[in-house]
Amino acid sequence: MQIAKRMEPLKGVLVMEMNMRLAKMKQEGRDVVNLGVGDPDFNPPEHILQALQEAVGHPDYHHYPSFYPNQPLKDAIANWYKRRFGVDLDPNREVLSLLGSTDGLFMIHLCLLDSGDVALVPDPSYPSYSSGVKVVGGQVEKVSLLRENDFLPDLDSIPTEVARKAKMIWVNYPNNPTGATAPPEFYQKLISWAKAYDVTVVSDNAYSEVYFDNRRPVSFLEFPGAKEVGVELHSLSKSYNCCGWRAGMVVGNQDLVAALSRIKAHSDRGMFYPMQLAAINALNSSDDFMEKRNQIFQERREVLVEGLNKIGLKTYLPKATFYLWARVPEGYTSQDFCFKALEQANVWMIPGSLYGQFGEGYLRIAFTHSVERLKEAIRRLQNFFSQ
C-alpha cells in the first residue's frame, strides 16, 4: 500500500506520542503532573449540561442534522458576537457552525490555497496552521513572534515580494502558546496591510473569554474593513469549558464562509442536533460564570509565575489564555529539558520547539490544575533543579 505524500507533514506529532507515553506511565503507577494539556478542569455551566441532557433524551433528535433548521444556531452565534464584540453579522451569509474551531481551521486551507500558494504562518504557533497549509500543497512562510515585539508579528518586516505572493495570513490572539494579546492598533494596521497586498486574514480567537485583570480581548472583526479581508474562528471549548463537545464557528467574509460551507457539505453532515441546542443555550445565556472562573485562573497564574521564577524558569506574564510561556534554563534544548523533567520529576510540559523555530528555548505550561497541584509541580521541579 502506498500512502499519499501529502501525509508527510502529519507524521511524528509529539503530542500524540506523549499522550501514549503518559498513559503508559499512569499504568505503571507514576503520578505525573501534566502541565501540557490545554483542557480546562472546569465543567460547563449546569444549565448548559441540562439542555444537552434533555435534548439527548428526546426521541426525535437523532436524525441527520440537516433534518433540523440551522437558523436558530446561526442567530445565536450572530447575537453573541453582537453582544460580546459589538459586531453585526448576517446570520445567513456571514456565519457557519463548525465541529469545533479546529474543523474550520484545517479545512479553510482548501478554500484559500492551490498547490504552491504561499501562506504566512506565525512562529511560534499552533502546529495545525502549518500542517493544514502543507497538506493542501501550499508553501509556509514563517512570520516570527519575538519577545521584544510582545509576540506580535512585525508586518513591516515581511518582504514585499513575499507579501505579494501570499494568499493568507494566520493570526491568533489571545495567543497559543505565548499568552499574548493584540491591541486595537495592531488589527487596524493588519487590515490596511491585508488590503494593500490582497491577503486573506484568518483570525483564531478561541481564547478570547479567558483573560486577566478585567482586560477583555478584542475581536479582529470589530475594526472597519475586517470583513472585507477575512474571517474569524471561535469556539465554545475554552469559553464554556466544553472542549470535548466540538462546537465552534467561523464568521466574517461571506465569500469565504460560503466556500467553507461547500467544503463541509462534502466532509460532514453538520453538528449533532442536541449539541446545537446546548450551544444555543450557552450563547443566549449569561456569561457571568466566566468572571469567577477567570479569577481562579488568575490566581493559578500568579502562583505559577512566582514559583517558577524563584526556581529559575523565567516566565512571560500572560494577559490571557491559561498558558505560561517560560524560558528553558541554559544548557538545555526545550525538548531535552521537558523530557528530563518528565522522567526525573514526573512533571510534563510542552517543548516550545513543537510550535516552531522561534519556540526553541521556551516551554509551554498549562495552568489547568488546582493551586495545590500546581504547587506540587513547583516543588518537584525545585527538587529536580537542586539535583
Closest by CA position to 179, among listed 34, 363, 383: 363
The packing angle between helices 46-56 and 273-284, to 10°, is 150
- Least confident range of 27-41, 68-82, 362-376: 27-41
- Least confident range of 75-79, 98-102, 225-229, 361-365: 98-102
Q: Alpha-carbon torsion 32, 363, 310, 317, what sign? A: negative
Going by the DSSP 8-state scheme, the letter that residue 355 receives in this structure is: G
Query: Cell for 78?
Result: 450572530
The arithmetic mean of pLDDT across residues 374-387, rounded, is: 92
Instruction: Give the CATH architecture of domain 5-44+289-386.
Output: Alpha-Beta Complex (3.90)
pTM over 0.85: yes
Gap between the Cα atoms of 109 and 356, Å rounded: 19
Q: Are 281 and 48 in contact (CB under 8 A)?
A: yes
Q: What is the band of 228 on the pLDDT scale with cuts at 50, 70, 90?
A: very high
The arithmetic mean of pLDDT across residues 331-340, rounded, is: 93
The arithmetic mean of pLDDT across residues 155-179, rounded, is: 97
Helix (H, G, I), strand (E, B) or coil at 329: coil
Beta bridge partners of 142: 121
CATH 3.90.1150.10 range(s) for the chain read: 5-44+289-386
Gap between the Cα atoms of 271 and 4, Å rounded: 29
Gap between the Cα atoms of 171 and 94, Å rounded: 19
The number of beta carbons lying within 10 Å of the beta carbon of residue 302 is 14
Residue 259 is which amino acid?
A: A
Fold of 63-284: Aspartate Aminotransferase; domain 2 (3.40.640)
CATH 3.40.640.10 range(s) for the chain read: 63-284
Helix (H, G, I), strand (E, B) or coil at 29: coil
Q: What is the band of 269 on the pLDDT scale with cuts at 50, 70, 90?
A: confident
Give yes or no for a cis peptide into 174 (omega within 30° of 0): yes
Q: What is the band of 385 on the pLDDT scale with cuts at 50, 70, 90?
A: confident
Closest by CA position to 35, among listed 357, 245, 346: 346
Gap between the Cα atoms of 59 and 68, Å rounded: 14
Residue 14 pLDDT = 66
State yes or no: pLDDT of 147 exceeds 80: yes
